[in-house]
Structure formats: structure tokens, C-alpha cells
Amino acid sequence: MSKKIKVFIDAEVLVVPHFSGIGHYTLELLRALDKQIEGRDDINITLGIYFKHIRKIKSYQFRNFHYKRTPFPLRISNALKIRGLQIYWDVLFGKKIYVFPNFTSWPLLFSKSVPIIYDLSFEKFPQFADPRNQQFLSDNVKKSADWAEKIVTISTNSKQEIVDYYGTKPNDIEIVYPGIDQSQFFRWPAEEVEKVKARYGVFGKYILYVGNLEPRKNLKTLLLAYEKMPTGVRKEYSILLVGARGWLDDEIFDIIERLRIAGNRIQQPQGYVKDEDRAALYSGASLFVYPSLYEGFGIPPVEAMACGVPTIASNNSSLPEAVGDAAKTVDAEDAGVLSDMIQAVLGDERLQEKMRAQGFEQADKYSWNHEARKLLELLIKVGRK
């Protein structure tokens, strides 16, 4: 009889006030993993969480995980990492496989570590990050990679960057893609779309962007591309920006203000868009544009395609991998080329129908259940090594 594999997952990303892409990825992957271990007695998974957040973590209603209170909130644990005062987690919680879903890990004395390193944007584009956070990641992610038994990442591009920057062996890195919840992300009926649009004060036809409003997302090029479009097209289609304000966003909002003064329609939803409403706003879009300068994967274009929206994305980093042949890809920094591509897609209904059909097929490739099985197989392999 094989030994029971014990896994400890640092779950702090599920309770932080600003629920980021990392939080969504971790939550959906754990929900799928929870189903994967139903009825299995060969693996035991514990979620570690600061003691004050136990009630919050239990609200997710996982059925097959155990819970363990940890002594430090995320703020304190990061402060200890910055100062090199980390304690060995397995001294506190025992010999297990430790999964760290937020780039950096704690040192272990006699256990195996599996960090999730999503991308190396902080190394490739340090100018787009908060300086303190950039320094923290640059100092600590390399250490986490060196300590790791295996590393999980989210794209072939990110895997190659980890190999190039940190010298990790390719066989020690497993790609576990983000998935699409197709019970939520599908083409919503028109009447439901209109209700959600009304709720957020959105009107008319629009070209959609979803993501943080920050320099790395390259909204400047999208706005300048829109400005280059003929007046008639701009009167027919507005730009709808859905996302939270980010780091160094002053230039973005200066351009938005200038375009609005000139009579252009740049829409932003009234209030925070709930997760359950995003798919309706995708479904209502005439076109989705994602001009990012860099992505570890790039889930919004795939969500858009799952909702039947023709999609344009940048041709850099992991984005061609994420969208395949289903989206048009362009040079992220050429506003003229982007403007021409937007007009070409909006002006060709047959092309739009082809892109919708291809988009549905591409989105079908990304399943949380499939990716959770890959993670489970990795954990079992590490546990039996």
C-alpha cells in the first residue's frame, strides 16, 4: 500500500482585500482540485490560512480540504521575507509537499516546495511595477525557484523565461493553464446583456477592454488607435474600459480626458463590475481588444472568445499561445496597425462570424478540471519521488 501524500497549500491569496488574477486562478484551480480528490484516500490536502481568516476561507465551501491556522497574515509574512527572517514552515506544520500560489515561498527544512510563478514581468518590465514590489519579487522569486522541487507556471512563454532567467531545468517546470468556467463565460442572451449594461450605465455599441488600467496593459496604444479611426466609426462605436486603476495611470487618464473633450465616447462602468456580470459585458461587445505589452498568459481574450466576441490581441509574450489562430494579433506598439485591424474586423461580418466560431473552439481548450488533474498528477509524482 502506497503512503498517503500530504499537501499544504498557502491560501492567503484567497482572502486578500484586492482579489487579483492570482486569487481567481488559485480559487478556480482549488475548486476543481477539490472535486478531483473526492473519495480518494491516498492524498490529504490542507489549506493554510491566517487564523483570523478561517471563516472567510470556509465560505468557499470546499468539501475535501482540511484547514490549518497560520501565525502570520500576508503583510507580516512578506515583511519577514524582505528581512530574511523566514522560519521553516515544515517545522511548524510537519513534513509535506508545500504549494505556494503567489510567486514566493517559505524555506523548508525537510519538505518539498512547489511555487507557482506566473510570469517574470517584474524582471522584463521593471519600469511598470511599483519599485518596492519589483525589488521584493526580484529578490525572492529566484530564491523560491532555487528551493523548488517543481515549479508551476501558466504558459510556455513563462516556462521559457524561468529557464532563461533562473537556470531551472525545463523538466522541473509544469504548465498548468488558467481555465474558463463555461457555466459563466458563454454568449449571453441579448435581453440579459441589456439589463447588465443598464446596471452599469453602458450604452450603444462598444469596443471592449478588460483588465487593470496600467502602463503594461498598453491602453495608450488602444486609445491612440481609436483616435485614428474615421469619425463615423467612432460615432458608431465607443471604447468601454472595464478594470481597476493601476500603477502609473496618469498618462492613460490624461489621454482619456483629451479624447472626451474632443467628443469621443470613452465609457467606464459606473461602480465596480461584479465577477458574475463580466460575461454579459463581454457578450455585448462588438469587438474585444487586448493590446498588452506582456502577459504571463492573458485570460481576458480567452474569456471574450468564450462569449463569442471577435478578438484582437498583441503578438508578444504568451498571447499568441493563449489565443491561437482564433484572434487577430498585431504589434502592440503600433497604433496605426491596431487602428487598421480594428476597422478591418468591424467592417467584415463574414470575418467576425469566422472569428467567433474559431474563438469558441480555442476557449474549449482551457478547462479547470483538466488543469487540476495535471496539478494533482504533479503532486502525486512529487509525493512518491
Residue 78's pLDDT is what? 76
Mean pLDDT by 10 residues, the chain (385 residues): 86 82 93 95 93 87 93 79 84 96 93 97 88 89 96 97 96 97 94 97 97 89 96 96 80 90 91 91 98 95 98 97 98 96 98 98 96 97 91
β-pair partners for 361:
none
The domain limits of the chain are 5-179+367-384, 190-363
Is residue 65 helix, strand or coil?
coil
Judge whether 5-179+367-384 and 190-363 match in fold.
Answer: yes
All three cell numbers of 157, joined, read: 512563454
All three cell numbers of 116, joined, read: 507557482
Task: List, in sequence order, every beta strand (DSSP E) within the chain.
Answer: 5-10, 43-50, 66-70, 97-100, 112-115, 151-153, 173-175, 205-210, 237-242, 266-267, 287-290, 311-314, 328-330
pTM (whole model) above 0.85? yes
Residue 258's pLDDT is what? 92
Residue 294's pLDDT is what? 94
CA–CA separation, 101 vs 26, rounded Å? 7
Condensed to tens digits (0 to 9), the pLDDT of residues 303-347 reads 999 999 999 999 999 999 999 999 999 999 999 999 999 999 999
Residue 2's pLDDT is what? 65
Widest CA span in the chain: 73
The CATH fold of domain 5-179+367-384 = Rossmann fold (3.40.50)
Contacts of 326-330 with CB under 8 Å at 24 or more apart are: 326/355, 326/358, 326/359, 326/361, 326/362, 327/301, 327/355, 327/359, 327/362, 328/355, 330/291
All three cell numbers of 193, joined, read: 446583456
CATH number for the segment(s) 190-363: 3.40.50.2000
Residue 74's pLDDT is what? 74
Rg (CA), the chain: 22
CA–CA separation, 185 vs 385, rounded Å? 38
Angle at 61 between CA 89 and CA 65, to 5 degrees: 35
Residues 6+ apart with CB under 8 A from 171: none
